Chain A
Amino acid sequence: MRINRSLIVALLLAGALGGCAEERSDGAGAYASQYKPLPSEPVLLRGATVLTGTGERLDDAEVAMRDGRIVSVGTGLDAGDMDVVDASGMWITPGIIDVHSHLGAYPSPSVDAHSDGNEATDPNTAEVWVEHSVWPQDPGFVSALAGGVTSLQILPGSANLFGGRGVTLKNVPAQSVMEMKFPGAPYGLKMACGENPKRVYGSLARAPSTRMGNVAGYRAAFIAAADYRDSLTATADQEAPSRDLQLETLAGVLDGDILVHNHCYRADEMAVMLEIAKEFDYQITAFHHAVEAYKIADLLLENGTCAAIWADWYGFKMEAFDGIRENAAILDRADVCTIMHSDSEAGIQRLNQESAKVMGAAARVGIVIPPERAIRWITANAAKALGIAADVGTLEAGKMADVTVWDGNPFSVYTKAQKVYIDGALVYDRGNESVNPVTDFTLGTDARHGGAR
């Protein structure tokens, strides 16, 4: 490296300012997860039907948790010093995971001042991070907890081609979003194809106003991102470019560090998005909504792309016209990574029920999906799509003790989540309201989230 005088002066000056520019832009500490599990005791849940999320069902079984981790799952476990919780007649599953939520960014109440999910001022806002829009006082977090949800991905909306970074949270209400961030979870990038971006910008007489305009938009952005990424690895002869948040996030996609969550309904459009991914050599981790995914199950399997879908929404837009209830069933039968998501503060409370709708529809056409398989749609497969499968999504020794205890088969409409553990701490107990969080916004009201009295 050639030393020159101006470089030395610059370094000295930076040092004198007590924190050089390089440290600040590295910023390893900024925005990092500050999540701390709530206090917990060692607990042995005994006598339940256990759906592990790995495809297994254990009857009259036990789950042992200590120091925030699952220590064992099985039968005949020794209680030792653990609190024994009688879970006979109950079912235990991994904590439910919703990969598509706007809680906090489009919270309740849905008023203009809280409308923070879409930075709809440009079709490419890859530079924004939805976590900076998340209001942790959204009562919806607590209702979701009462529905058994332990982790969730908050995403920007779908007004833009590139909506911005998503964030994965532990469903433990806190004072700031940093204190809710799932430790070690990778970032996601929200992309959207189809009607929404072209309608939003087309109505402003701006690009994109057509699907072809959408695609040109993605491609131009990735070309710029590739250039940016290449110039970051420049030698000392060339100046590193100024830091650009938008290109930084897109480059993260190209590097495989940031997972792509692509809102896309139509089969033909998903096929085109996969071509773009091929052109720029990145992976589409999951298509979201994917209303027509059942038409291209083989293509999704081939590309290792998950489909995060609803049970039965259809007919609200042209691109949702061909929605059918058997979508998840056809995908699951083809071994596609199938995920049930909500995109709804109401739906997140009952992902188990939404899954049940599909199980019944599937059975009618001879596709039998037992509970131990269906549960993966809202646990293991969801964890995989969020890049947190090493930590959660199944009940296995060593994983984080994110566990939901139900008062019956979770796929019955009559079943409710009774106890929800996150990192081994009892964060929700339907039988003991004093345990349960009540966000500041709810104080003074008579609301009972999730119906707990």
Chain B
Amino acid sequence: MNRLHCLLLAPLLLAAAAAAQTTAITGATVHTIGPQGTIEDATIIIEGGRIAAVGADIDIPAGATEVDATGKVVTPGLFSPLGQIGLSEVSAVEGTNDAAQSGSEFAAGFDVADAYNPRSIVVAISRIDGITRAALTPYPASVGDDGTGGGHVLSGLGSVVHLGTSPEFFVKRGAVVVANLGEQGSRVAGGSRAAAVQTLRAALDDALDYRENRAAYERGQWRDYRFSRADLSSLQAVLDGSAALLFNVNRASDISVVLGLAAEYDVRAIIAGGAEAWMVADHIAAAGVPVILDGINNLPGSFDQINARLDSASLLADARVTFAFGGSAQTHNARLLTQSAGIAVANGLSFDQALQAITLAPARIYGVDATVGSIEPGKDADLVIWPGDPLELTNYPDQVYIQGQAVTMQSRQTLLRDRYLQTDSDKPPAFRHPPSQR
């Protein structure tokens, strides 16, 4: 059977079987990231795609498939909170990038969901490295070479997907509306970050007005709005609290503006980037606003990041700010999540907080922590079995589970690797086929 066919069909066949299958993972050190903390020599029971039980003295149900994980470490699946996994195959090939657009009809209302490609090479590459969930976040388009186009202050709706094969990919559509302030906002708002803030206010004001006068508007008996219907509809979720406004900001003063705006409009905010968040950490904590911190970028790449520092995470933790890692770690580089976490530990953060920042914290930030992010009974069985410390860069997952299904631990990269490891072959590489096809 053609190898590619195998890759596509096998997981789908497994999907039906796995839903009914019970799996018991035994003998591992399990970082639950839940109230049970870290459990030695633990057993995890997976039933119907969910975690049925986890603990040190759990009875294994009859008929369960046992997975001996003695000496291994198990964590929840990793969560990539920013980026375009499944929306960008090759960054420099425009046709494969679907997370940015510069049309005039959609800003807040731009929805990337229908562009998600579960068969993207980036999905498979990311999931065998332990990433089981990802937030898809749109970003402002660049201005074209002819000077036209360019994105918007409000880039659009972000959604959460699982990286598995069961076809309900979307875990939460429209979880956030992405807003760009700071230097990036200035660029798309005509030259000042203040104009970006004004644009955002105008959008929220229109959305509020639309909420009160929707029927009249639909009948054509109301004033025009600056924003499209799609935009105004998307912002309703922000106003009613079911979606958050995710702000791409780094500079401390811009962060303060965000906190003020969020309070004024009574909306949920998330700070992404946050290079200078540490400088206003107490205010961020008091406002209950979470931060998606880059964790790797410690240089003043722009004047918005003059005070970036590598120990930001530990400073945020000290101030009791909720934070996740993401930024440098996104899309093709989503795998840098564990490196971001490890670097933070080297610079003062505790191991448990670091692991939480790439599992439960991002799940909480996106409001999906009821179903994922920690190893607790009732949650989806997104799990990773590691040969040792998950933050050490020498360790890669032995096996990943998404919603209880074992992921086929293969990607385009493993196929290339295996082909070129065969140096004893007398055939040119193009003629070297994997064992199942010989």
Contacts and interface: CB of A to CB of B under 8 A. Distances in A.
Contact of B309 (A318, A322, A411, A451): A451
A258 interface: no
A451 to B, nearest CB: 3
A359 B347 contact: no
Contacts of B296: 346
A424 interface: no
A326 B419 CA distance: 12
Nearest to B302: A109
Contact of A450 (B90, B93, B303, B310): B310
Contact of B332 (A314, A325, A349): A314
B416 A140 contact: no
B429 A451 contact: no
Given A317-B92, A324-B416, A446 B307 contact: yes
A194 to B, nearest CB: 11
A325 B411 CA distance: 12
Interface in A332-365: 334, 345-346, 349-350, 353, 356-357, 359-361, 363-365
A316 B300 contact: no
B421 A365 contact: yes
A139 interface: yes
B91 to A, nearest CB: 4
Contacts of B302: 109-111
B90 A446 contact: no
B217 interface: no
Interface stretch (A159-167, A174-182, A235-243, A413-421): A413-421
A321 B300 contact: no
Contacts of A364: 396
B222 interface: no
Contact of B298 (A143, A323, A415): A143
The range of chain A's interface size is: 35 or more
B64 interface: no
A437 B296 CA distance: 21
B345 interface: yes
B297 interface: yes
Contacts of B421: 326, 330, 365
Given A316-B92, A318-B90, A334-B423, A449 B342 contact: no
A317 B90 contact: yes
B346 A447 contact: no
B299 A108 contact: yes
Query: Which residue among A334, A360, A413, A449 has the maximum number of chain B CB atoms within 10 Å of its CB?
Result: A413
Nearest to B88: A315
B429 A359 contact: no
Contacts of B346: 413-416, 451
B334 to A, nearest CB: 11
A346 B333 CA distance: 14
A448 B299 contact: no
Nearest to A359: B394
Given A360-B395, A361-B396, A449-B298, A315 B308 contact: no
A294 interface: yes
Contacts of A330: 420-421
Contacts of A323: 413
A432 interface: no
A315 B121 contact: yes
A312 interface: yes
A34 interface: no
A448 B90 contact: no
A312 B311 contact: no
B141 to A, nearest CB: 18
Interface string B87-128: 001111100000000000000000000000000011001000
Interface in A431-453: 441-442, 445-451, 453
B309 A446 contact: yes
A361 B393 CA distance: 9
B393 A353 contact: yes
B301 interface: yes
Query: Which residue among A111, A334, A414 has the maximum number of chain B CB atoms within 10 Å of its CB?
Result: A414
30 contacts: A109-B303, A110-B301, A111-B303, A295-B420, A313-B333, A314-B332, A314-B413, A315-B89, A316-B91, A321-B90, A323-B413, A325-B417, A326-B420, A330-B420, A345-B299, A346-B297, A353-B339, A357-B394, A413-B339, A413-B393, A414-B342, A414-B392, A445-B300, A446-B307, A447-B298, A447-B300, A447-B306, A449-B298, A451-B311, A451-B348
Given A315-B91, A318-B92, A416-B346, 11 more contacts: A111-B302, A297-B423, A313-B333, A316-B90, A324-B417, A326-B421, A334-B423, A356-B393, A411-B393, A442-B300, A447-B308
Closest 7 CB pairs of A and B: A413-B342, A360-B394, A451-B310, A451-B347, A315-B332, A108-B299, A356-B393
